[in-house]
Amino acid sequence: MDPATKGTSRASSVFTSLFRMGGGSQHKYSPLDHDGEASGGVAPESQTRLLPGESTDENLDEESQLKQQKGRGLLYRLVWGDPNNIFVKLIMLLLMIPLFSYLVAASLRVLSPNSVPCDTPELGYQCDQKTTHTWGQYSPFFSVPSEISPSVPEGCRLTFAQVLSRHGARFPTPGKADDISAVLTKIKTSATWYGPDFEFIKDYNYVLGVDDLTAFGEQEMVNSGIKFYQRYASLIRDYTDPDSLPFVRASGQERVIASAENFTTGFYSALLADKNPPPSSLPLPRQEMVIISESPTANNTMHHGLCRAFEDSTTGDSAQATFIAANFPPITARLNAQGFKGVTLSDTDVLSLMDLCPFDTVAYPPSSLSQESSTRKRISPFCSLFTAQDLTVYDYLQSLGKFYGFGPGNVLGATQGVGYVNELLARLTHSPVVDNTTTNSTLDQNEETFPLTNKNRTVFADFSHDNDMMGILTALRIFEGVDREKMMDNTTIPKEYGSTGDEPGLKEREGVFKVGWAVPFAGRVYFEKMVCDGDNDGDGKIDQGEEEEQELVRILVNDRVVRLNGCEADELGRCRLDKFVESMEFARRGGDWDKCFVKGSSGRLWIWSG
């Protein structure tokens, strides 16, 4: 492992362990992992609520138990392992405040005095934008420009905040890693000549990991937690009260759990820096997270897999195949002519080389930009093989795949997000979850795993994947402004999509779906509820006398305020809570869940008529 990568991971891991306060006990429930007859799943014996990184298996072998103990961190085991060791705990707590500052600094890449970080909590990744912002869902998070100010409107105060976040940057999936390795092997074993810009491939060793969060992704999530605290600090009324702190859930894949842990690391580091609590108030309340299984039969609103007809759909792959056939041959011909002799690349080979541009970049800690030379510090050399137009082609290819595979271009795309939307409505209204799709009723009916009645709970954080967030955003009607006629031609790029060299205005881009603006690495959706005084209450009227405060709902996708559809949104994109709930009629009736298990259901293009 690269030393910088290893150091960042270690520092972040130790920092996270400090927040695992209390013993290692697990709170056991016995719910059905799978509720409802429609999905036809088998119910595992139990569901466990546990600390980040702990196993749900009570019958671990000795090696696994040792690995789990090591995963808790040395400080964790020394300080918190013995509940009676009060003296040692007190000493360690006194050391924690300066140690927090050290560990946060250790988790960041060391920068020279004349450089600035490429990745910041406020704006995300901003270096080499014409390259790094054109990687589709593989783009690192960047703050998307918004026509409506994302600030809390004057005269308003927030009463609720929830984030739905994708995990941070990761290594390639196993299948993609195999494809990348295969094309590099093909080149190295057959090429008899390399063009000037391609010679680095001779000495390039592919040593990237598989699936896991990278050091880059860890830092993205730490930054995300810092930003979330800074934005919603007003809702943290009492940091010594567990009910005032974020309630965290994570889908059960390791990179998602690790992302949630790094997010909380950033959140609490920002809280401690802001509040500077006296040692007597430490430790902070122990924060557990609810980890929801991703097993094939598990009900999980943040992970698809139950809807058979949707899982069998090939619309996304088909759309991408058509686009590749129409747009990749010129790129492939140029690389074959300029890059090599003795080897002939295919279009899919070229796609794998293009994949290395983002993945070989985010495999390392975020780089910095030198103020003296204004040159990049760490962008993969594979990016230099492609022109700006090539990267636009790559970006649009990813957008097509998500639009047709998991979004409004798939007949059952929105239905995959219905369960999560119904959970959101329950939280916004403090009412029971009403859903018969992907929700786990045992978890959602338990105040410890899905708190609803305690109105002091106003801050929530959920962690998931890009594909699942696409279904949720579609169910929320976020993409109703997309012009489907433009997206139905899978051979050309709409002019409104823009190129890296000439970005069109926001209004011109409005009718086009761009996946990097929706679900990049560490992408996030903020759900806000607010009440306002006077003319900012969202009813469009000048108030006359005392009226009951209207609760308003607003949604931001990667800092961009999206104008809500179907609920009489005001000029600031907000809707009254009651109108927003009414506008979610598709989700409240279960979407098209009944079509998930009908023989012959297909994933053909669905033109939304609502």
Within 8 A by CB and 6+ apart from 203, the residues are: none
DSSP 141-193: PBPPP-SS--SPPTTEEEEEEEEEEE---BPPPHHHHHHHHHHHHHHHHH-SE
Q: Would you call 133 a catalytic residue per the annotation?
A: no
Three-state secondary structure call for residue 307: coil
Q: Are 405 and 313 in contact (CB under 8 A)?
A: yes
Count of residues in the chain? 610
Q: Are 339 and 350 in contact (CB under 8 A)?
A: no
> Is residue 571 classed exposed, middle or buried when 0-12, 13-18 and 19+ CB atoms within 10 A define those classes?
exposed
Within 8 A by CB and 6+ apart from 6, the residues are: none
Question: What does the longest C-alpha to C-alpha distance in the chain come to?
Answer: 83
DSSP state of 439: -
DSSP state of 521: B
Dig out the tokens for 53 from the structure.
């990184």
Dig out the tokens for 115 from the structure.
């450089």
Q: Are 143 and 124 in contact (CB under 8 A)?
A: yes
- Residue found by looking up tokens 């103990």 in the block: 69
Handedness of CA 216, 218, 223, 227 (dihedral sign): positive
Helices (H), 340-440: 347-362, 388-406, 418-429
Q: Which residue type, as a one-letter code, is found at position 232?
A: Y
Q: CA separation (Å) from 298 to 211, 307, 416, 534?
A: 21, 12, 14, 47
Dig out the tokens for 182 from the structure.
């295969």
> Is residue 188 classed exposed, middle or buried when 0-12, 13-18 and 19+ CB atoms within 10 A define those classes?
middle
- Strand partners for 48: 28
Helices (H), 415-465: 418-429, 441-444
Three-state secondary structure call for residue 79: helix
Three-state secondary structure call for residue 313: coil
Task: Give the residue among 367, 362, 360, 361 at the shortest CA–CA distance from 110.
Answer: 367
Give phi and psi for 87, each to the nearest 5.
Answer: -60, -45
Q: Are 138 and 519 in contact (CB under 8 A)?
A: no
Dig out the tokens for 304 from the structure.
């698809």
Distance CA 416, CA 470 (A): 9
- Residue found by looking up tokens 């960041």 in the block: 108
Number of other residues whose CB lies within 10 A of the CB of residue 567? 19
Q: CA separation (Å) from 481 to 562, 569, 587?
A: 10, 14, 18
Candidates 167, 303, 304, 465; catalytic one: 167
Residues with catalytic roles: 167
